[in-house]
Amino acid sequence: MKTIDPQQEQASELYALMSGVVAPRPIAFASTVDDAGNVNLSPFSFFNLFSANPPVLIFSPLSRMRDNSSKHTLQNILATKEVVINIGNYPMVEQMSLASTEYDQGINEFIKSGLTPVRSARVAPPRVQEAPAAFECKVTDVIKLGTEGGAGNLVLCEVLLMHVSEHILDEHGKVDPFKLDAVARMGGDYYLRASKESLFKLPKPIRGKGMGVDQLPDFIRQSSILTGNNLARLGNTEKMPDTQEVVAFKTDPLVGYTLTKHQNDPELLHMELEKLGKKLLEDNQVQEAWKVLLLRNHI
C-alpha cells in the first residue's frame, strides 16, 4: 500500500490520483450567463445530490492550477446567483466533453458543441434540450475551500424546477437506468457508461435487522470460496433456515446430483456445495443458498 502525504505531493499529481480512485463521479453540465447575458456551458465532475427537502445539488469548479484563476462558470454564478445543472448521457457525451474546452470569455459553448439551448422558466441561463434531465437552480452559497490553484469552490444550488424527459421514465414514472444511459467521470481520459453490461441490482438491507456477518456459522465465515459480498448477502437475513428445512432440501434436484456424485469424498462435497451456494447467492436465491451451505452439517 502506497502512502501519500498531500503536503508533499504536487497538486496536479494529487488531483490525478484522487480523481482516479474517487470514481465514478456524476457530471454537472452547468449552464450560466454573465451580467451581459453571454451564455457559458461547462461540465464539472465534482458533483452530487446533497438534500431532498429542500432539494439541493452541489458542484465544485476548481480554480485553475496553472494561474489560480477562476472558471467562467464560477464568475457567472457569483455575479448572477443562478445556474441550470443539466444531466449528460452517452448520446451526448462527446459534445459535453467538447464544451469543457477553455474558450475565451463570451464564447457560447452551446454553439461550439452543437447543443440546443432552451429557455428556462425561472432562471436566466438556458437548459440543454438534448439533456435527459435538467435542474433550474438558484445559488444559495459559494464556499471557497482554499486559496491556491486547484482549490474547490462549493456551489450550493437549490432546485427551483426540474425537467425530466419522458423518454427515460418507465411505466410507473420512475427513471429507467437503461433508458437514461448515464455516463460518469473516471480518472484521466476514462468515463463510465452505465449500460446494460455494467448495471446490477443489489437488495437493500431488510426492514428488520439482518443477523450480520459476525453471526454466520464459522465454516461459512472462514470459507475460501465465499467472498465478502457473499457473506454480506447471507448476513442480510434475519435468521437461518431451520434443520427441518435443510434436511428436506436433500431431495431437491438442485443438490441431488452433487450429493450423489461426491458422497464418498466429504471434503470435495463440502467444496462443491460452497461453490453452488456462491452461485445461488449471486443469482439472489438466498434461501436456497442457505440450505445448500448448511447441508454439510447434515450429510
Domains of the chain: 6-193 (2.30.110.10), 213-298 (no CATH)
Q: What value, to the nearest 5°, has the Cα angle with vertex 281 and ends 262 and 275?
A: 25
pLDDT along the chain (299 residues), means of 10: 93 93 97 96 98 98 92 97 98 96 92 97 98 98 95 97 98 97 96 91 82 96 96 95 94 89 90 96 95 91
The residue type at 102: E
Please say whether the beta carbons of 231 and 237 come within 8 A. Answer: no
Q: What pLDDT, on a 0 to 100 scale, did the predictor assign at position 203?
A: 80
Q: What pLDDT, on a 0 to 100 scale, did the predictor assign at position 72?
A: 96
Q: What pLDDT, on a 0 to 100 scale, did the predictor assign at position 202?
A: 83
pTM for the full predicted model: 0.86
Q: What pLDDT, on a 0 to 100 scale, did the predictor assign at position 299?
A: 82
Q: What pLDDT, on a 0 to 100 scale, did the predictor assign at position 169?
A: 98
